Chains A and B, each alone.
Chain A
């Protein structure tokens, strides 16, 4: 596939607006302004573009939920939080082609008639926040942003808002709270952000990669976009491959390629000539797949049919030396640390899973532990919590227990009882014991 989103990777001076314009940049923005908001939304709807941030929701549909008769301001928010373990694609887009993001933000803002857009970027991405700010300044200077954009009468301000270290702020409603200057506590839905979003106004939140697709859809048309990939799973997708492969990195491929092709061909196969054991298909929140499932197609619907999700497209590969109990433990540490603490099943459940897994790893597992883990996970998933972080820790952990139960049982069979009375292994959630805290 010819690269679309990553076409600027490797091009000299690819970040500057001059390079972007020479490659046909901002043509989509000009065309969109001539089409009008409804036609732009219709084009994106027809392209069947689905959100690249995790949930795969149809982008055009999301835009059309914004009430047409709303009297006050509306907002567009670009989600550049990129904090799902295994995901490093948005940073690649920003690094090589920040104007693609700015142009996507502009077109989406116009489609929902928002005069202000915020790009929310994780606090750690200091360098990439600066790159975006520079790109915005260039675009403003050339009249692509600001008052009366290209004489259209449409005003648009775009601001970069930096997070400050909190995975949960990638969740859209926590992100909105964070923009409002608060702790990143997810909100109960409904109302959905398209109706009541940031500052109480209708707001659309889209991922960086989703928005980067938009200028291409406007320039080349919905039919072109829909011709890439599979029906309902259209367009190019960035797959991030990390872990035990020869060539980790970001690969742009049509939706619907198999995980085998991504791992074996593009990422160069499992490193050291070892065997594939398992992989997370879409960040660590996605239920794990085994080597036997590597022929699953990498798209939204095929992953759902396989009992997992494409999520953010972050593929984390494990070779046959990896003990899956350790993986579950590391995952539990991540989510126990990142749970915002509002809901009992998520706050206590993630902590409790972490304690149990730490105990098993420390050699003090008990026969009932695998079932206890599954029970905790059941009570924290499927709508028992305010936001999907409850599922995000429960589903990968329960999938590992279910698919690799014998590894848990083997460790537990050789375990010794905990000396004296039970003590918490760690005083608080932090890095897992493999790091010898």
Chain B
């Protein structure tokens, strides 16, 4: 079972968020897809993560209020799934696959290199907030091992040189 560290939320993070008209329009599209409002929790959390960057306690409360659930129920859902960010993420989240095919086809070397280059371990962010390193389980792209997902995008068949080029580019954009 995966467990997450519990971090105290800042007063701003506790502040309940409000949904603007664009958000409400998207919610109105979502709700008729399901016979219960509860079923919209996952898609609404995705919308919030896109819009607010992460799932703060204030987001949890807003989602709960909007769908008629208790914040505890929504928090229970959020904490089950690994992709909902429960703390503000870095600009680029490097999600490195650590499962079999990647591990034995160069993944370990990539991780060692990333740790050295960025000076951080799994679960940490660089002090400038640009990169965050996360070890993840199989990404479903094992034939293209080793694989890293950066935010939403897959980077496949990597080696250290290719990875460095990608990181240089991303760092340059920041």
Contacts and interface: CB of A to CB of B under 8 A. Distances in A.
Given A124-B83, A432-B98, A435-B108, A248 B33 contact: no
A393 to B, nearest CB: 12
Contacts of B82: 164-166
B1 interface: yes
Contacts of A86: 100-101, 138, 142
Contacts of A435: 98, 103, 107-108, 111, 122, 135
Given A127-B152, A181-B39, A341-B1, 8 more contacts: A83-B137, A126-B153, A162-B43, A180-B36, A243-B104, A334-B99, A334-B138, A338-B2
B70 interface: no
Interface stretch (A18-26, A36-44, A314-322, A363-371): A314-322
Contacts of A434: 103, 108
Contact of B137 (A162, A183, A334): A334
Interface of A: 73, 82-88, 90-91, 122-127, 157, 159, 161-167, 178-184, 199, 240-244, 248-250, 280, 284, 314, 316, 318, 322, 327, 330-331, 333-334, 336-341, 347, 351, 428-432, 434-437
A428 B135 CA distance: 13
A183 B80 contact: yes
Interface stretch (B16-24, B143-151, B165-173): B143-151
A330 B107 CA distance: 13
Given A316-B100, A316-B101, A429-B1, A181 B41 contact: yes
28 contacts: A85-B100, A88-B143, A91-B140, A123-B83, A124-B140, A124-B149, A157-B33, A161-B42, A161-B43, A162-B43, A163-B81, A164-B46, A165-B84, A179-B39, A181-B39, A182-B77, A242-B142, A243-B105, A243-B145, A284-B99, A314-B142, A333-B98, A338-B137, A341-B1, A431-B122, A434-B103, A435-B108, A436-B115
Given A124-B149, A428-B2, A181 B33 contact: no
A243 B101 contact: yes
A184 B1 contact: no
Interface string B83-127: 110000000000100111101110110011001000001100000
Most buried by B among A249, A341, A430: A430
Contact of A159 (B33, B101, B112, B122): B33
A263 to B, nearest CB: 13
B66 to A, nearest CB: 12
B143 A250 contact: yes
Most buried by A among B35, B99, B135, B145: B99
A83 B42 CA distance: 18
B154 interface: yes
A88 B140 contact: yes
A181 B38 contact: yes
Most buried by B among A181, A184, A314: A181
Contact of A248 (B84, B108, B145): B145
Contacts of A163: 42, 81
A214 B3 CA distance: 40
Contact of A85 (B77, B99, B112): B99
A340 B1 contact: yes
Minimum-distance CB pairs A-B, first 5: A431-B135, A165-B83, A165-B82, A164-B81, A181-B41
B104 A318 contact: yes
A337 B33 contact: no
Given A164-B83, A338-B137, A249 B100 contact: no
Given A164-B42, A184-B80, A436 B143 contact: no
B163 interface: no
Nearest to B4: A428
Interface residues of B, number: 53
Contacts of B41: 181-182
A154 B26 CA distance: 27
A85 B143 CA distance: 11
Nearest to B2: A337
B174 to A, nearest CB: 21
B135 A240 contact: no
Given A166-B81, A339-B1, A341-B1, A122 B143 contact: no
B80 A166 contact: yes
A407 to B, nearest CB: 16
B5 to A, nearest CB: 9
A244 B140 contact: no
Interface in B17-71: 33-36, 38-43, 45-46, 67
B13 interface: no
Contacts of A436: 111-112, 115
B166 to A, nearest CB: 17
A84 B34 CA distance: 28
Contacts of B39: 179-181, 199
Nearest to B141: A88
Given A164-B83, A334-B99, A199 B36 contact: yes
B157 to A, nearest CB: 9
